[in-house]
């Protein structure tokens, strides 16, 4: 699993217990990460993006007959819900279609939380999960997924943080930002913890389809306590369709549909029709993703093995890596990449680890290969041009 080289489990564990008991104060209703992603992420070699590059109309096989501006979409468009149910192997009554995974996460949190309720959110994690909980006026507390545990949830710390006031536990799987995969047995244990205090578990699974042979299945089928969210965005390069969903028990799905009446009301029917087309052609899109990610995973692992200025475990699956910079400033590295090498990576401070940075594997192979080369040049420059900084790792 994707993770780190640190071997100090006991010290990390004791520190995590201190961290988990400290509640976070509410922030303004906005995301600094998303603002950065929209205004500063773009570059000639964009290694900051966590999804595959966009599928073109020709790749999807779109024709004029596939477009229709309006249709009978109220609480979901029936043909799309049927296709999602078949793809996800769940009943339609368990699916709430949403405008991307972020909106699905918002709806899921909103039906599980009231102002003042306690929510436990993994750390590090995707910033929007924390920001959304703050926006909903929940009391946010964090539990660690430390690098020392290969970014697996610290179950002892989670159990210690759990109280009778906890109403939701939030995780990502595959983990954003590290791509670590949580074993099913761990997910079942977390579900049991939540049930013991009358809480739910929300798992953002938007990267889970980047597990191949065999494909992973959604954790919602394990237990009604678990809600899961995902979309066609990250693994399939279909961000523009905004085809997301939340899987939950039917009573919660009904609440989400009704809540969405206050937000999106109904989605774009043209996007619904194209989403249905994408689901019909998902095997080809999945092959596209697998071939690219497996090639880029090998390229990344080879790059990592040649450097001793970063810490990370070799990637097993996923669309992103999350190395730790062993010395120097990540912010300085990001500035060098942008100003000198036309390249971006995502600063780890947005995820809660300022000594790390996230690298996306989704570019076309020529651009990804060149992006890695430029990352290596920036790392060498950061360390004063010392050839040892970019040389082979000892041992």
Domains, the chain, in order of start with CATH, read 33-50+284-390 (3.90.1150.10), 61-280 (3.40.640.10)
Assign 155 a pLDDT band (cuts: 50, 70, 90).
very high
CA distances from 194 to 114, 163, 167, 293 (A): 17, 10, 8, 34
According to the model, what pLDDT value does residue 30 have? 85
Q: Is the pLDDT of residue 287 over 60?
A: yes
Assign 343 a pLDDT band (cuts: 50, 70, 90).
very high
Dist. CA 348–CA 323, nearest whole Å: 9
Pairing of strands 343-344, 45-46: parallel
According to the model, what pLDDT value does residue 6 have? 38
pLDDT in tens, 169-194: 999 999 999 999 999 999 999 999 99
pTM for this structure? 0.89
- Compare 83 and 263 and report the one with higher pLDDT: 83
For residues 283-300, average pLDDT: 97
Q: In this prediction, what percent of the chain has a pLDDT beyond 70?
A: 90
According to the model, what pLDDT value does residue 227 have? 98
According to the model, what pLDDT value does residue 27 have? 52
Assign 63 a pLDDT band (cuts: 50, 70, 90).
confident
How many helices and strands, by DSSP H and E, does the chain display?
14, 14
Assign 141 a pLDDT band (cuts: 50, 70, 90).
very high
Assign 21 a pLDDT band (cuts: 50, 70, 90).
very low
Q: In this prediction, what percent of the chain has a pLDDT beyond 90?
A: 78
According to the model, what pLDDT value does residue 12 have? 40
According to the model, what pLDDT value does residue 28 have? 56
pLDDT in tens, 199-229: 999 999 999 999 998 999 999 999 999 999 9
Q: Could you tell me where the beta strands, DSSP code E, fall in the chain?
A: 45-46, 95-99, 118-123, 139-144, 166-172, 200-204, 226-231, 243-247, 310-311, 320-321, 324-325, 343-344, 346-347, 357-360
Residues 6+ apart with CB under 8 A from 236: 52, 55, 209, 278, 282, 285, 286, 288, 289
Assign 385 a pLDDT band (cuts: 50, 70, 90).
low
Least confident of 18-22, 86-90, 105-109: 18-22
Average pLDDT, the chain: 90
Residues 6+ apart with CB under 8 A from 46: 343, 344, 360, 363, 371
**What tokens does 331 get?**
């912010």
């Amino acid at each position: 699993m994707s993770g780190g080289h640190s071997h100090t489990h006991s010290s990390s564990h004791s520190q995590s217990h201190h961290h988990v008991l400290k509640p976070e104060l509410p922030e303004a209703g906005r995301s600094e990460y998303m603002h950065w992603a929209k205004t500063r992420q773009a570059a000639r070699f964009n290694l900051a993006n966590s999804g595959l590059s966009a599928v073109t109309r020709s790749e999807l096989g779109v024709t004029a007959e596939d477009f229709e501006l309006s249709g009978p979409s109220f609480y979901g468009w029936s043909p799309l819900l049927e296709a999602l149910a078949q793809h996800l192997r769940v009943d339609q009554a368990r699916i709430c279609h949403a405008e991307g995974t972020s909106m699905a996460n918002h709806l899921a949190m909103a039906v599980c939380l009231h102002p003042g309720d306690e929510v436990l959110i993994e750390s590090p994690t995707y910033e929007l999960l924390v920001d959304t909980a703050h926006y909903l006026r929940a009391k946010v507390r964090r539990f660690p997924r430390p690098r020392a545990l290969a970014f697996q949830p610290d179950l002892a710390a989670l159990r210690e943080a759990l109280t009778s006031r906890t109403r939701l536990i939030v995780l990502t799987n595959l983990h954003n930002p590290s791509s670590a995969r949580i074993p099913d047995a761990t997910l079942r244990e977390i579900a049991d913890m939540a049930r013991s205090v009358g809480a739910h578990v929300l798992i953002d699974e938007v990267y889970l389809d980047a597990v191949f042979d065999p494909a992973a299945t959604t954790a919602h089928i394990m237990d009604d306590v678990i809600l899961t969210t995902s979309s066609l965005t990250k693994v399939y390069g279909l961000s523009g369709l905004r085809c997301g969903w939340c899987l939950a028990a039917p009573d919660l799905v009904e609440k989400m549909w009704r809540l969405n009446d206050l937000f999106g009301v109904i989605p774009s029917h043209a996007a619904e029709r194209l989403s249905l087309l994408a689901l019909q052609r998902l095997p080809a899109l999945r092959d596209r993703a697998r071939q690219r990610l497996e090639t880029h995973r090998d390229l990344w692992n080879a790059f990592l093995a040649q450097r001793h200025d970063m810490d990370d475990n070799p990637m097993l699956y996923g669309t992103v890596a999350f190395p730790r910079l062993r010395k120097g400033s990540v912010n300085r590295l990001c500035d060098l990449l942008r100003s000198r090498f036309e390249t971006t990576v995502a600063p780890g401070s947005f995820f809660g680890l300022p000594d790390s940075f996230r690298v996306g594997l989704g570019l076309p192979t020529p651009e990804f290969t060149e992006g890695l080369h430029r990352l290596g040049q920036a790392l060498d420059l950061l360390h004063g041009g010392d050839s040892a900084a970019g040389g082979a790792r000892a041992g």
